[in-house]
Amino acid sequence: MTGGQPTKAEEMNQTMGTAGGGQPEGRGSRSRFVADRGDVAPMVIMFGLATVMVFFVIQVALLFHARSVVTAAAQDGVRAAQVENATTADAHDAASQILAGSTALLNNESVVVTPSGEFITVTVTADVTSVAFGLTGPVTASASGVIERFRPQSER
């Protein structure tokens, strides 16, 4: 202190709540600053809610991705069955090949190929793996198309 006026460092120490050497007021270095006192419970609750929300968002994203995979499998199955002289086994194999790439995501896959006259329908159903909280369910997609075949001039 010079001439009764505190120096800048002394003013800073007083506004920060420290005495002289930069230590917090109270019982030495182990005590907290006065402004730091607070309750931890709201932070713990908010962290828990944030964690639940993150897992929920991940689960919803997995459901959307599973729906895309199942739809792609059904569409590929129909494409394989539409080719002239193709069999229902070709459609089943094409759809199963797509599903085989998502074994960690999908469980209990089912591929049903239904030919009906000039049309073919492939329906794929699978259960989505749950990340947390048991939020899961079946995802189903169907695709249909005309079976290609040679038609003589008289049938056109």
Mean pLDDT of 35-51: 82
Residue 29's CB is within 10 A of a number of other CB atoms, namely 9
Query: Which of 120, 133, 59, 56 lies closest to 87 in space, CA to CA?
Result: 120
Burial class of residue 141, CB neighbours in 10 A (0-12, 13-18, 19+): buried
For the record, the structure tokens of 90 come out as: 């070709």
Weakest-pLDDT range from 88-97, 105-114, 130-139: 130-139
What CA–CA distance (Å, rounded) separates 8 from 16? 12
Enumerate domains of the chain plus CATH numbers. 41-155 (3.30.1300)
pLDDT tens digits for range 74-83:
999 999 999 8
Identify the band that residue 88 occupies on the pLDDT scale cut at 50, 70 and 90. very high
Q: Which spans in the chain are helix H?
A: 8-16, 41-82, 88-100
pTM of the model: 0.69
Which bin fits 28, alpha (ψ -120 to 50), beta or left (φ > 0)?
left
Cβ 100 vs Cβ 70: under 8 Å: no
Residue 14: predicted pLDDT: 61
